[in-house]
Amino acid sequence: MRVVYHKEFEKKLKKLPQALQRKAQEATDIFKDNPFDPQIGNHALSGKMLGKRAFSVTGSVCIIFKEYDNYVLVLFLDIGGHPQVYR
């Protein structure tokens, strides 16, 4: 799996507190090892976000991404609390 980070994702990640950045890295490592690990709750989105997916960093913070070719390529689009990323 090749993971690419959108500029917006990188910018928002840097603004998070250090502890949350570490949790995001842990969740990303789990995702890279097994994108469907139940710990992170990978799920498809609907509505305006149809075609995108998300997984959890914490109970209230998630990463929005798009996958291509059955997880050969993954583009991380956004990170943050539900009100910030589900817009």
CATH of the domain at 13: 3.30.2310.20
Q: What is the pTM of this model?
A: 0.92
Query: How confident is the model over 24-51, as pLDDT tens digits?
Result: 999 999 999 999 999 999 999 999 999 9
In a domain, 10, yes or no: yes
The predicted pLDDT at position 85 comes to: 76
The residue segments making up the domain with residue 76 are 2-81
Secondary structure element (H or E) that encloses residue 30, with its range: helix 18-33
* Residue type (1 letter), 64: I
CA distance 80 to 25: 13
Per the structure, how many domains does the chain have? 1
